A = this chain, B = another copy of it.
């Protein structure tokens, strides 16, 4: 037997608790700050690049493009280019991408609802 490959041997059940499991990368991507906001901004609708940029306040052009490309690559959004001048590009969540809306909205809601509690916890921690 030759040298064992790094990480998880292939063919086993995916398990993000195991190093090298590809689900870890996916977890990284869907938990990403910009991905969470883009999924929430798109919702069940369609937005063009510039609209997304306005809704996700503070995102740079680079990060918006980059995140959308990765989401497209992973099958989370569809990208539709209208060959007009000036160009118009629209983004929509795929069916797979839509299944993320609930879970990610839950995170968003959590951060809003627990903001006071977290801030209070930090004060206590700082005092102690």
Contacts and interface: CB of A to CB of B under 8 A. Distances in A.
Contacts of A27: 33, 36, 107-108, 111
Contacts of A119: 22
Interface string A60-88: 00000000000011110000000000000
Given A19-B58, A23-B115, 16 more contacts: A16-B108, A17-B37, A17-B41, A18-B57, A23-B108, A26-B115, A28-B33, A30-B111, A31-B31, A73-B125, A74-B122, A75-B121, A96-B114, A96-B117, A99-B114, A103-B106
22 contacts: A14-B111, A17-B37, A17-B40, A17-B41, A17-B55, A17-B57, A18-B57, A19-B58, A22-B119, A23-B108, A23-B115, A26-B111, A31-B36, A31-B107, A74-B121, A75-B118, A75-B120, A75-B125, A96-B118, A100-B110, A103-B106, A103-B107
Contacts of A37: 16-17
